Amino acid sequence: MKNNMGGSYRARVLTHIVYSAIITCLVEVFLITNLSMVAKYMQQKGQISALSQLILEQHTAVVILYVLFGILIFSVTFMLLEEPGIRYMGRISDAVESISQGNLGTEVDVTGDDEFSAMAANLNKMASDIRTLMDKEREAERTKNELITNVAHDLRTPLTSIIGYLELLAGNTKVPAEMEHKYIEIAYSKARRLEKLIEDLFGFTKLNYGKIAMHVGQLDIVKLLSQLLEEAYPNFVEKNLSYDLQSNVPAKTISADGNLLARLFDNLIGNAIKYGADGKRVLVKIHAEDDTVTVSVTNYGYVIPADELPLLFNKFYRVEQSRSTTTGGTGLGLAIAKEIVDMHGGTISVSSDLNGTVFTVKLQVYFDVNKENFASQS
Ligand code: ATP
Ligand code: MG
């Protein structure tokens, strides 16, 4: 593509040179013929002047004048033909200057198909990429600030009730035995909630900074998912949900890090349970092919607005800004899931409409951790 572009600019300049040369030749022929005819006519009339004498003799000075005039005609024609290109270059240069001054909304119109139009297109793309990057940074900053507030809130809420219940138990008033047990249970579950929150935060930071070494082995993905669903059975029952595991193969061995994959699908299944509508089912579908395995987790419930879908995988992003205690979370689950999928060289996507919210993970069957690392480094 690059060579083509180089060729097209060169071809355009060559065409302009040829056009300018033709026009120069025509004007010169016209000029020489006419001047010679006028000089001859004057000679016939006997009105011979020094100039017509020089013209008729084709004197060196006249030839030089012809050449100079030819150069002038050639230059003017060439400049006129090149003028639109030069003006376009000027517009690109203005745009570069404007972008460098921070006006990222600057755009240049893309006309033609030579290096300059390619440069304009690349410039527009670069400005739009920087815009997106800055928007992302701003969004990350906003979510980070939100997280600090939220984490502080999330840490304080269970802690307050743990302290409250422990105070009751340690207090002077005698608590009935069955209430004592209940208080301990509540304090315990709140403490576990705190533990998960802190684990998630640490886990994500570790993954994100590449501190986790992958232990890739052979595992049966159908078995893994059926085990994870079985383990989550009490949570399904609690939410009055049922699950369905469908697979086009009875077993499929893939190379992956078992612990990381378990964490990935735990997050997706956990979300399906957490956000699935009461009484509905969660569908886990496996579609294995020769080189890839696609796993989709579908749940029914509220529809995630289309403009929020791409943001779900951002760390700390949560759709329900209200952060109700029943579905409390850090908004790290999907960011962790995406990180794990990326580490395996796979893809994760989401769609949400009245037919359900579907998270789809596509993994390679033969995963070579060294090759993947090499690819991501180069
Ligand atoms: P946690 O870190 O505990 O997982 P979380 O569940 O809020 O917290 P994510 O798993 O990253 O965080 O999900 C981000 C947001 O995406 C959720 O808050 C929720 O609003 C939305 N979401 C995720 N999965 C689903 C789903 N299956 N159905 C509907 N909404 C979902
Ligand atoms: Mg989650």
Atom of ligand 1 nearest to the CA of 357: 28
- Rounded CA separation 347/363 (Å): 7
Q: What is the pLDDT of residues 194-241, one digit of tens each?
A: 887 787 777 776 676 666 678 899 999 999 999 999 998 988 998 999
Angle at 193 between CA 191 and CA 197, to 5 degrees: 115
CA dihedral angle for residue 372, residue 375, residue 376, residue 378, rounded to 10 degrees:
150
Instruction: Give the ligand whose atoms come closest to the C-alpha of residue 277.
Output: 1
Angle at 33 between CA 29 and CA 36, to 5 degrees: 140
Interval between CA 357 and ligand 2 midpoint (Å): 14
Atom of ligand 1 nearest to the CA of 359: 27
Q: What is the pLDDT of residues 79-111, one digit of tens each?
A: 999 999 899 999 999 999 999 998 888 999 998
**Range list of β-strands (E), 320-366:** 347-353, 356-364
For residues 253-291, b (16+ Cβ closer than 10 Å) or e, as one string? Answer: ebbbbeebbbbbbbbbbbbbbbbbeeebbbbbbbbbeee
End-to-end CA distance of the chain: 23
Q: What is the pLDDT of residues 337-358, one digit of tens each?
A: 998 999 999 999 999 999 899 9
Query: Residue 87: its pLDDT value, please?
Result: 92
Interval between CA 147 and ligand 1 midpoint (Å): 14
CATH class of 145-208: mainly alpha
Domain boundaries, the chain: 2-103, 145-208, 217-377
- Rounded CA separation 48/182 (Å): 129
Query: Residue 211: its pLDDT value, please?
Result: 63
210 DSSP assignment = T
Ligand 1 and 119: CB distance under 6 A: no
Atom of ligand 1 nearest to the CA of 318: 18
Interval between CA 332 and ligand 2 midpoint (Å): 7
Atom of ligand 1 nearest to the CA of 272: 27
255 DSSP assignment = E
Instruction: Give the ligand whose atoms come closest to the C-alpha of residue 154.
Output: 1
Ligand 1 and 24: CB distance under 6 A: no
CB atoms within 10 A of CB 96: 16
The arithmetic mean of pLDDT across residues 130-153, rounded, is 79
pLDDT at 29 over 90: yes
Interval between CA 55 and ligand 2 midpoint (Å): 94
Instruction: Look up the CATH architecture of domain 217-377.
Output: 2-Layer Sandwich (3.30)
- Rounded CA separation 273/271 (Å): 5
- What percentage of the chain has pLDDT greater than the value 90? 47
Query: Residue 318: its pLDDT value, please?
Result: 81
Ligand 1 and 318: CB distance under 6 A: yes
Nearest Cα residue to atom 15 of ligand 1: 318
Strand order in the sheet with 292-299: 242-247, 281-288, 292-299, 356-364, 347-353
Interval between CA 331 and ligand 1 midpoint (Å): 6
Confidence of residue 375 (pLDDT cuts 50, 70, 90): very low
Average pLDDT, the chain: 86
Ligand 1 and 275: CB distance under 6 A: yes
**Range list of β-strands (E), the chain:** 216-220, 242-247, 253-257, 281-288, 292-299, 347-353, 356-364
Q: What tokens appear for 296 in the block?
A: 């989709």
Of the residues 201, 307, 312, 321, which should be mutated to test ligand 1's pocket, given the most ligand atoms within 8 Å of the CB?
312
